[in-house]
């Protein structure tokens, strides 16, 4: 116990929840860096929620499952490349490791992007044609979420002879061995953390450029603002919607690879659920429908979660996340940056 921990108090008489400022102070930078790593992953997944919400006003509850499929996608790609479950990290040389990771990420992106578009086609489009109310969309999303999870849980192992899916997590394939690159004041930054943060920020930046600078991005923003007018102006709404799902899926697939770098044993049928909820929280925190908000919300949530964990104890991680969400919404009902896909809501 440090001196600071003595300053930390007890909230309830019989030490039901106590907090330890010392732990937070000691590890502040390490927690921040770790938090940014997770936050970057949350942010990438959150973009998928935010884009779909911006265009369709739909909470794509099944997006977490898209992310989960992305994890399996990159895993399968690595297996196709000849990697098997390994106890230790492969040493393929820096250049080749990066190439393999890149291919795996493409694999994850392809699976997740394809699944997202497929989900849109099979589940949401028929509803849109019938003009169903938004609750129906949400419930369908929940249904799709069940189906995808259970598919990976039960059906996928049968299709792949037990290689993929099932009740246990995939045995990790480790391409990169974590090693500290930069160290300062009781804190070190590992190569994996750098790769995750840099890749995620690069992708988020690319997505931002895509939405704000390209023709397709303009289409997305146009449909988000005013679907009717956009349609009249010759923007194909259906195509834009598909594109939106595709981008969301691709980013989720990329996030999936980054996540498995950090948590190699997270590749599990139920492995996307909590992360998806967190990412959705991140999107709402930042202001849902707002691309930069998703980024901000993700990073903020990732960091706050770890601070909270250090402060109150590891078991309070999710509570911290949800309480933060509720508090932010109470004071800023449309999130920190407000909701918009390039505009202010009336």
207-226: contacts with another protein (CB under 8 A): 210, 216
Q: Name the residue nearer to another protein (CB basis): 318 or 343.
A: 318
Contact status: 81 vs another protein (CB under 8 A): no
Contact status: 159 vs another protein (CB under 8 A): no
> Count of residues for the chain?
346
Stretches 73-81, 97-105, 290-298: which one binds another protein (CB under 8 A)? 97-105
Are the beta carbons of 278 and 294 closer than 8 angstroms?
no
CB of 1 to another protein, least distance (A): 6
Stretches 72-80, 192-200, 293-301: which one binds another protein (CB under 8 A)? 192-200
Distance (Å, rounded) from C-alpha 240 to C-alpha 127? 17
Binding to another protein (CB under 8 A): which residues in 244-283? Answer: 246, 250, 254, 262-266, 268, 270-271, 274, 277, 280-281
Return the SS3 of 210.
helix
Distance (Å, rounded) from C-alpha 241 to C-alpha 234? 14
Contact status: 150 vs another protein (CB under 8 A): yes
Contact status: 38 vs another protein (CB under 8 A): yes
List phi, psi (to 5°) of 175: -95, -30
Distance (Å, rounded) from C-alpha 235 to C-alpha 250? 22
Contact status: 206 vs another protein (CB under 8 A): yes
For β-strands 180-184 and 187-190, DSSP reports them as antiparallel
Stretches 73-81, 123-131, 293-301: which one binds another protein (CB under 8 A)? 123-131
Binding to another protein (CB under 8 A): which residues in 281-320? Answer: 281, 284, 288, 306, 309-310, 313-319
Are the beta carbons of 256 and 74 closer than 8 angstroms?
yes
- Residue labelled with tokens 């991140």: 282
């Amino acid at each position: 116990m440090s001196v600071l921990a003595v300053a930390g108090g007890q909230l309830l008489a019989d030490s039901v929840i106590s907090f330890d400022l010392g732990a937070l102070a000691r590890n502040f930078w390490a927690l921040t860096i770790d938090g940014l790593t997770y936050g970057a992953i949350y942010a990438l997944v959150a973009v998928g929620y935010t884009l779909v919400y911006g265009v369709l006003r739909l909470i794509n509850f099944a997006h977490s499952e898209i992310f989960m499929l992305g994890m399996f996608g990159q895993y399968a790609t690595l297996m196709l490349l000849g990697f098997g479950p390994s106890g230790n990290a492969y040493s393929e040389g820096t250049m080749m490791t990066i190439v393999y990771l890149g291919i795996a990420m493409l694999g994850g992106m392809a699976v997740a992007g394809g699944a997202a578009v497929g989900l849109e086609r099979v589940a949401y489009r028929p509803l849109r044609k019938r003009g169903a109310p938004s609750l129906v969309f949400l419930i369908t999303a929940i249904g799709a979420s069940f189906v995808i999870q259970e598919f990976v849980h039960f059906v996928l192992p049968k299709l792949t002879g037990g290689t993929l899916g099932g009740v246990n997590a995939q045995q990790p394939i480790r391409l990169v061995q974590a090693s500290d690159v930069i160290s300062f004041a009781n804190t070190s930054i590992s190569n994996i953390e750098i790769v995750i943060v840099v890749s995620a920020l690069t992708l988020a930046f690319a997505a931002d450029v895509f939405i704000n600078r390209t023709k397709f991005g303009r289409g997305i923003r146009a449909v988000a603002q005013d679907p009717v007018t956009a349609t009249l102006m010759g923007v194909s709404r259906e195509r834009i919607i598909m594109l939106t799902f595709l981008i969301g899926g691709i980013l989720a697939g990329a996030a999936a690879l980054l996540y498995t770098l950090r948590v190699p044993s997270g590749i599990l049928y139920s492995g996307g659920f909590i992360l998806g909820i967190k990412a959705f929280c991140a999107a709402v925190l930042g202001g849902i429908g707002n691309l930069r908000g998703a980024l901000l919300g993700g990073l903020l949530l990732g960091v706050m979660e770890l601070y909270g964990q250090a402060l109150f104890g590891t078991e309070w991680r999710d509570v911290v996340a949800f309480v933060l969400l509720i508090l932010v919404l109470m004071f800023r009902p449309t999130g920190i940056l407000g909701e918009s896909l390039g505009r202010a809501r009336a």
